[in-house]
Amino acid sequence: MHDQASVLRNLASREKHKSKMRVIAVTSGKGGVGKTNFTVNLALALAEYGQRVIILDGDLGLANVDIAFGLTARYTIEHLLSGEKTIEQILLTGPLGIGIIPGGSGVQGLANLEHDQLANVVVNLGRLERMADLLIIDTGAGLGHTVINFLQAADDIIMVITPEPTALTDAYGLLKTLRKEAGEVPIHIVINRVKTEADALATYKRLEVAVSKFLHGSLNLLGWVYDDPLMGRAVMQQVPLGISYPESSAYRCIQWIAGTVTGIYLSPPRQAGGIRGFLSTLLRSF
């Protein structure tokens, strides 16, 4: 596996000057922190801002992204690797024209390709440049070989953490490795499932203090997402939160983050309080 990454980079750089598709990898130290749902809803919010988005479901375990959209993948990246299907044939189309590349177990193969296969895959993935402005990769948790490859290759890494102590410890471990393996790639932190803004800031502070000894400057807080029971409901319904509950506090946070990602800076949203929240704020001002 000597120089897989550099071959891929060389092949990819030939395509690169034609157009620029930004690649964002979403990752986490610990599983189950909300990466897939964040990815799906970030894609939706970005599409609302007029961005053309494709999601690569890079999770090696269960294919989740298609399920979150209520879609069923017929073919996966495995069919692309074997040469049976083209990228256009495996690509699913979700709401607002969002493209979904089902990964399945084929994703692991991406990191272990022969040169001929690699060329074929790069040509196919290269065609994505014309179809989208952004490729978002849901990498799955942890530090497998494939995940590291994705993270090294990305323009930006979004790392999802939660305020739980274990998620923080795992995030610390991941950051430590990333500094060695993907030192150049900017890492943006999203804190998911926070109760309050103060909760988010305190969690970020704890992470920052823990990593300040070995990480210099490349970490930043991208935003946070409220713990929101509507997220769980959206998951059960297999309809992304941004479609089933676009006014939910969690989705509004993700819209805010999407704004930052597209370069539009908005002020952080507050917890959605509905009409009661509105009234209590209004009445307090009298």
The residue ranges that bind ligand ATP (CB under 6 A) are 28, 31-37, 59, 64, 140-141, 192-193, 225, 227-228, 231-232, 235, 250
Q: Report the amino acid identity of residue 123.
A: V
CA–chain centroid gap for 4, Å, is 23
Q: Which does 28 bind (CB under 5 to 8 A by kind): Mg ion, ligand ATP, none?
A: ligand ATP
**Euclidean distance between CA atoms 202 and 251, whole angstroms:** 21
Q: 179 near 170, Cβ under 8 Å? A: no
Nearer to ligand ATP, 23 or 141 (CB): 141
Q: Which does 170 bind (CB under 5 to 8 A by kind): Mg ion, ligand ATP, none?
A: none
Nearer to ligand ATP, 59 or 66 (CB): 59
Nearest to 200 by CA among 190, 215, 208: 190
Q: Does 37 bind Mg ion (CB under 5 A)?
A: no
Q: Which does 228 bind (CB under 5 to 8 A by kind): ligand ATP, Mg ion, none?
A: ligand ATP
Q: Which does 193 bind (CB under 5 to 8 A by kind): Mg ion, ligand ATP, none?
A: ligand ATP
Nearer to ligand ATP, 1 or 236 (CB): 236
Nearer to ligand ATP, 86 or 260 (CB): 260
Q: Which does 231 bind (CB under 5 to 8 A by kind): Mg ion, ligand ATP, none?
A: ligand ATP
DSSP state of 84: S
H helix or E strand, kind and range, residue 190: strand 187-194
Nearer to Mg ion, 62 or 123 (CB): 62
Residue in 26, 28, 33, 36 binding Mg ion, rule: CB under 5 A: 36
Beta bridge partners of 22: 134
Longest distance between any two alpha carbons in the chain, whole Å: 72
Residue in 41, 51, 64, 76 binding Mg ion, rule: CB under 5 A: 64
Q: Minimum distance between the CB of residue 213 and ligand ATP, rounded to whole angstroms? A: 27
**Euclidean distance between CA atoms 200 and 95, whole angstroms:** 30
**Euclidean distance between CA atoms 51 and 33, whole angstroms:** 26
**Euclidean distance between CA atoms 217 and 214, whole angstroms:** 10
Q: Which two tokens stand for residue 169?
A: 């410890």
Q: Which does 51 bind (CB under 5 to 8 A by kind): ligand ATP, Mg ion, none?
A: none
CA angle 92, 98, 100 (to 5 degrees): 35
Binding positions for Mg ion, rule: CB under 5 A? 35-36, 64
